[in-house]
Amino acid sequence: MKTRLAYLNGRWIPDTELAIGVDDVGFLLGATVAERLRTFRGKTFRIEEHLRRMQRSLSIVGLDAEAIVAELSEVVPEFVERNRSHIVADDDWTIIAFATPGAAGGGRPTVCVHGFPLLFRLWAKQYELGVSTMISRVRQVPPDCWPPALKCRSRMHYYLADMQASHEEAGARAILLDENGYVAEASTANVVVFRAAEGLISPPEEHILFGVSLGVVQELANRLDVPFVKRHLTVAELLSADEALLAGTSICLLPIVRCNRERIGSGAPGPTFGRLLGAWSEMVGVDIAAQANRFSSRPDSN
């Protein structure tokens, strides 16, 4: 069987040969700008929005944002085509694009694109059963450390928060608060709540990394005539919400059914979640939950 291909610094190589030097600033300091994309029906979803966000992140860290994004705008579609024979019908992939300043002491930036089949087994059952969460004692990185708009791989706080959450309740995911005690985001996902009297509520865009998937939720809410509000969100409002959701690239949308061992709403996926996921599935021509369940037993090959 042919090996999957990956892109590294202008070369297409077997992904088994991917490596980053120990002197690369992305390894030494975690100075890595990254975007995680996914496909639907074998086509990359919202690539322009992901690359626009990456350009902003690259600019923040002082890399040649315009040149790197121009490179990636050609490489990401080519990555899909070069690996087309590995994409099983009705299956979909994760695609990861990242860039670092390169080796310490100067030199060209490291630019890489790689990917693998989506790890549906990690979340397939959660469309039906929901997600348990815990409010973490680990806080979101404050904006005077780095801007919320910077999507980077410096994620030790996510790791520690999820480790704490899973220690307190097996399988739980962490929700992080900002420096003022408001709900910020989950590890690798945005948090949205639904309150019948107000609609969908997301933390203010300037206080979080506003994800591409969260933008899709806002777009679908507008189509469904569900109000979408951006404002500070307290822990009490999260706990008393009618529904709560996680939005992220790979999962698209998952229902939060418990937080701090307390039920959110009915304690089961709610009707707003169902409407939004249904509208998302219709938009991309894929039954998102059914696809995840169908491929959840596929052996991981990454």
CA distance 298 to 217: 28
CA distance 258 to 26: 36
Domains of the chain (ranges, CATH numbers): 5-117 (3.30.470.10), 126-291 (3.20.10.10)
Residue the block writes with tokens 């919400």: 241
The mean pLDDT of 266-291, rounded to a whole number, is: 98
The mean pLDDT of 214-228, rounded to a whole number, is: 98
Condensed to tens digits (0 to 9), the pLDDT of residues 229-274 reads 999 999 999 999 999 999 999 999 999 999 999 999 999 999 999 9
Q: Is residue 72 helix, strand or coil? A: helix
Share of the chain above pLDDT 90, in %: 92
pLDDT for position 2: 75
Higher pLDDT, residue 109 or 302:
109
Kindly report the average pLDDT of the chain as a whole number: 95
